[in-house]
Amino acid sequence: MVLDSLKKGLRDTLKRLVGASTIDEALINEIVKDVQRSLLISDVNARLVFDVSKKIKERALNEQPPLGLSRKDHVVKILYEEISKLLGEEKPLPFKPNKVNKVLMIGIQGSGKTSATAKLSRWLTKHGYEVGVIGADTFRPAALEQLKSMCSKINVEVYGEDSKDAVSIVKRGLEYFDNKIDVLIIDTAGRHKEESSLLEEMKSIYDLVNPELVLLVIDGTIGQQCYSQAAAFHKAVPVGGIIVTKLDGAAKGGGALSAAAATGASVMFISTGERIDDLEQFLPTRFVGRLLGMGDIKALLDMARQLEIEADEKKIKRITSGKMTIDDFYYQLEQVNKMGSLKSLFENIPGLSTAVKEEDVDVMEEKVKRWRYIIQSMSKEERANPDIFNASRIRRVARGSGSSEKDVKELLTQYKRSKDIMKSVKGRAMHGLLKRFGFGK
Ligand SMILES: Nc1nc2c(ncn2[C@@H]2O[C@H](COP(=O)(O)OP(=O)(O)OP(=O)(O)O)[C@@H](O)[C@H]2O)c(=O)[nH]1
Ligand SMILES: [Mg+2]
């Protein structure tokens, strides 16, 4: 498959992870180094490698796995998520029903536009679309024959003319297919990104067609240079998606895919061979799932999701029954944070908007921010059992979080108050409120 070396590297990393007896910082460091090496070998840009490995490390060291998910599985999940992100966001095809959706294929000479046009026609036909093609390459000798011969094998009609005026060909092609099909793909002439007359032609075609999707075709064997190529084209016309070709046996595939993704335009398809069926839709999460060995990963992710939901439920129950820990208190702060600012929260609760002064809310937001640092400086034991706090612990936490002892004491008081409130009738009303906001369903 594509990116065999990356696959092998990542699977070795997984094996090492699964085989380890404990997950500690030393192991995480080794794992991160392994991943770095694998990514660099497949030509991923050093800067991107640095960023992604930093992220993996931070999350692996700091994130608490949901209750019931092992630390190990949690690290696997982090690897999966971060490497998927490195390869870009998933973007659906922008096609709408009951109209001719136009796709403009662009790219430099020999990148694989014409083959990709035929392959994409095939892919779309298989997915239920009625497809037509316009051959607008008036530069390459026999370009039209090449296109027609590929498309005739898959019963896709090609409109073309034996003329030199690409813009007029496209104009008549649009009229020809008017209302007859779902997707119209326009193959254009290959060009060097510097050739201004050809860039002009591309722009004229773009203005005439006003396409739903501009697909940039890039030869994947150039690796991370994909970035500057994509950026150059994007300056001329807005690139909506990228097709990376020639990934069969391209050792630099990782570089090509991550560089293309780094431009912000999603890699929508990859081409992995010369046959008409060698085009696949590119979905980063599924792709990485396959690299890592999908079956196991999917089961693991499902489990993680389920455990997260259960953990939330348990937390809410603990909070409302008055057995709240500082972790739970922190969780509440985080939930409030997720809902947006405290201000908007108060504005949304009837009666509160007039009862709470705006300055007070600002002060409160500041306080909550500080509390986060304070809680992060507490030990696990202190968070679970805050009764053990004494003067020296308070001093340590204050110093560790860069706040005053008074702040720490205030937080502890607030925590106790919150715990008491939750125990009372009001707490039960709060439970209802949390539910209304979608928590602890
Ligand atoms: N191995 C491999 N070869 C490919 C792939 N895609 C395209 N090719 C080959 O690359 C060459 C160029 O492909 P074309 O589709 O003609 O490229 P183009 O961008 O239309 O070229 P111009 O029209 O001259 O700009 C052909 O020999 C294709 O068979 C691929 O995914 N894998
Ligand atoms: Mg061509």
Q: How far is the CA of 216 from the centre of ligand 1 (A)?
A: 13
Q: Which is nearest to 114 in space by CA: 151, 68, 83?
A: 151
Q: What is the pLDDT of residues 107-130, one digit of tens each?
A: 999 999 999 999 999 999 999 999
Whether 392 and 256 map to the same domain: the answer is no
How far apart CA 366 and CA 276 sit, in angstroms, is 60
Whether 117 and 193 map to the same domain: the answer is yes
Using CA positions, which residue lies closest to atom 13 of ligand 1? 112
Q: Which is nearest to 241 in space by CA: 200, 279, 288?
A: 279
Mean pLDDT of 352-358: 59
Mean pLDDT of 232-245: 91
Whether 164 and 59 map to the same domain: the answer is no
CB atoms within 10 A of CB 241: 19
Mean pLDDT of 246-265: 85
Pocket-testing residue among 148, 274, 278, 280, ligand 1, by greatest number of atoms within 8 A of Cβ: 274
Protein residues placing their CB within 5 Å of the ion ligand 2: 113-114
Whether 72 and 110 map to the same domain: the answer is no
Q: Which is nearest to 136 in space by CA: 245, 192, 209?
A: 209
Whether 252 and 113 map to the same domain: the answer is yes
Residue 440 has pLDDT above 50, yes or no: no
Residue 154 domain-assigned?
yes
User: Would you say the CB of residue 245 lies under 6 angstroms from ligand 1?
Assistant: yes
Residue 302 domain-assigned?
no
Q: What is the CATH number of the domain that holds 374?
A: 1.10.260.30
Whether 349 and 221 map to the same domain: the answer is no
Q: What is the CATH number of the domain that holds 50?
A: 1.20.120.140
pLDDT at 441: 39
What are the residues whose beta carbons fall under 8 Å from the beta carbon of 176, sequence distance 6 or more? 159
Q: What integer best gives the mean pLDDT of the chain?
A: 85
User: Would you say the CB of residue 280 lies under 6 angstroms from ligand 1?
Assistant: no
Contacts by residues 29-37 (CB-CB < 8 Å, ≥ 24 positions apart)? 29/57, 31/56, 31/60, 31/75, 31/79, 32/56, 32/57, 32/60, 34/9, 35/9, 35/10, 35/79, 35/83, 37/9
Whether 363 and 218 map to the same domain: the answer is no
User: Would you say the CB of residue 81 lies under 6 angstroms from ligand 1?
Assistant: no
Residue 191 domain-assigned?
yes
Using pLDDT thresholds of 50, 70 and 90, give the confidence band for residue 134: very high
Residue 407 domain-assigned?
yes
Sign of CA dihedral 198, 143, 270, 130: positive
Whether 251 and 211 map to the same domain: the answer is yes
Pocket-testing residue among 115, 185, 244, 248, ligand 1, by greatest number of atoms within 8 A of Cβ: 115
Mean pLDDT of 85-90: 89
Q: Which structural domain, as residue segments, surrounds residue 355?
A: 321-436
Residue 49 domain-assigned?
yes
Of 282, 306, 337, the last residue of a domain is 282
Q: What is the pLDDT of residues 143-201, one digit of tens each?
A: 999 999 999 999 999 999 998 899 999 999 999 999 899 999 999 998 665 567 777 88
pTM of this prediction exceeds 0.85: no
How far apart CA 33 and CA 13 sit, in angstroms, is 9
Residue 259 has pLDDT above 70, yes or no: yes
What are the residues whose beta carbons fall under 8 Å from the beta carbon of 373, sequence distance 6 or more? 401, 402, 403
Using CA positions, which residue lies closest to atom 7 of ligand 1? 112
Residue 362 has pLDDT above 80, yes or no: no
Question: Helix (H, G, I), strand (E, B), or coil: what is residue 142?
Answer: coil
Q: How far is the CA of 191 from the centre of ligand 2 (A)?
A: 10
Whether 276 and 130 map to the same domain: the answer is yes
How far apart CA 251 and CA 360 sit, in angstroms, is 59
